[in-house]
A and B are shown apart, each in its own frame.
Chain A
């Protein structure tokens, strides 16, 4: 008995102890049968769109019921893998985070035989699939700043002489460094690998007038409240302000954007792995993507889906082939996120 105990390492003992403590939470999930799948969702209006356009019809078609857990955080995936208590089957996040998880071995290999590969503008990798693209760009209140009184590209956004005022930017390095380099005159084709020093030098220029919203909804609400003159947000967020109940309607510039990808991966050891694969395959279908983006306002990765979108959604579609815009390189960020995030945090707090 003693020998057995001494064989258990401290870590595995602690992990085991945590497992025992977490047991009451697990039993609920253990009851779930083969006909379910648990996915992580972003919450808010976006998740409602996913619910209507994807989840409900998916359950109707396959009989698989979908549980939605709130808030994608890669740290939680790491904790689940560490404790062996896998609560999520399907994880969603930006391409950069999915690539980073892939690098750390967090995902199951995708079953490529059930995925429609040819139709996708961004093909799935071996362990995650991209289903939508979100354009990040400049937003402003057209009532406060009429034509000519707001920046439309990143160089103008960084030009405080021409457009003085409070600016808001996302407090994360991915995308923000690309925007800084575009503003500083780097050509989109020469973007990667990023000249990080040059990006920070460019950011230094506008730092004194930048507010860093703590949450994504704030990236539009601060502009709506007049707290910020020019914001940087996702096109879907700006589009929502023009819909019913959206508050002050904001404008969005398509003249220059950075494109962030987002998609899904199956967590390693997921209890409902097959169902999760089926759901990913479903989400890559053209008609499902068109249905989702009609409501969510992002850009489908399915080429066929683009022509299926409603007129209203098409008015808010960015031009992915715009030579002034840049697609964020997920692989670059998977390899460089940690160093860049530390430097960005030091810079932003200094």
Chain B
């Protein structure tokens, strides 16, 4: 055993990180696999073995208008909320990266506070802010001295606001990590060479923060794909996403093969969107 451990450390020091990764990751990975894989396989089995024959639930779902509509809502909401979140999170991360250490720590807690709050609580808070008589509408009404009822709740706008609020912290952290990893000397070199701030931003900051951007974007997108609570509480009935369909087939009509088939497709979408990133990262490293 000690010999093995030394090997692992040596591998790390050698820089042959691949092998060290395998050794250090294997306990966590095997435990996760033991817990997650059997039920996952069972879900997969349920999805392919419908009561009326193999793969019938897939063919019935793919041809149903309900699924097509929900899938397009899911993709549109997941992509647009991830992009809006990235835009907002990048600004926050840039600001955080420029703060001195202690101040940054305080500000990071402010980013994490909503992240730690239950999504259910946040959604109910949003109904108070966005509602017809909510804080925004009543404030605007007071300023313009007339009754203002902007439709901010139970529609796509409310859903996107809620989703963005939910996703921003997930992007801030990896982007901040990437930004902090940039060597300050590169900025100094760029400005000595005469580059203006805008040019430094586009040729140094952005390219060097890309790993964090992609990692954040990916985790935001994957989480957004499976959103359930936010669309249920802030969106309209037309804004419901695939998870709501899984719930419907699972609980309301007890059609488990279809619920499982949609879950498997969601899973494949998540894995499918992660794969290119993993390949790109390996290529880079």
Point out residues on A near B: beta carbons under 8 Å.
Answer: 10, 14, 17-18, 21, 73-75, 78, 166, 171-172, 211-212, 214, 225-227, 337-338, 341-342, 345-346, 348-350
Contact = CB atoms under 8 A, between A and B. Distances in A.
A338 B133 contact: no
A227 B153 contact: yes
Contacts of B178: none
Contacts of A350: 69, 238
B203 interface: no
B127 interface: yes
B101 interface: no
**Interface majority SS on A: helix, strand, loop or mixed?**
helix
A270 B83 CA distance: 51
B131 A225 contact: yes
27 contacts: A14-B41, A14-B42, A17-B38, A18-B39, A21-B39, A73-B251, A74-B254, A75-B254, A75-B256, A78-B254, A172-B252, A211-B236, A225-B128, A225-B131, A225-B133, A226-B131, A227-B131, A227-B133, A227-B153, A337-B253, A338-B255, A341-B253, A342-B253, A345-B245, A349-B66, A349-B69, A349-B238
A226 B237 contact: no
B45 A349 contact: no
A211 B42 CA distance: 37
Contacts, number: 63
B139 to A, nearest CB: 16
Contacts of B252: 172, 341, 345
- Choose among B69, B131, B237, B240 the residue with the greatest number of A CB atoms under 10 Å from its CB: B237
**Interface majority SS on B: helix, strand, loop or mixed?**
helix
B250 interface: yes
Contact of A75 (B69, B131, B133, B251): B251
B70 interface: yes
B38 A225 contact: no
Interface in B126-146: 127-128, 131-133
Nearest to A73: B251
A10 B39 CA distance: 14
A289 B65 CA distance: 46
- Choose among A211, A341, A345 the residue with the greatest number of B CB atoms under 10 Å from its CB: A345
Contact of A345 (B42, B66, B128): B66
A349 B240 contact: yes
Contact of A346 (B65, B232, B233): B65
Interface in B146-192: 153-154
Given A18-B39, A78-B254, 19 more contacts: A17-B42, A18-B38, A21-B38, A74-B251, A75-B251, A166-B132, A211-B154, A214-B232, A225-B127, A226-B132, A227-B127, A227-B131, A227-B153, A338-B255, A341-B252, A345-B245, A348-B237, A349-B66, A350-B238
Interface in B51-85: 65-66, 69-70
A316 to B, nearest CB: 27
A166 B133 CA distance: 13
Contacts of A21: 38-39
Contacts of B256: 75, 78
B255 to A, nearest CB: 8
B69 A214 contact: no
B45 A14 contact: yes
A298 B28 CA distance: 52
Contacts of B238: 349-350
A342 B67 CA distance: 12
Contacts of B115: none
Nearest to A340: B253
Contacts of B41: 14
Nearest to A337: B253
Nearest to A339: B253
A261 to B, nearest CB: 19
Contacts of A171: 237
Interface string B106-133: 0000000000000000000001100111
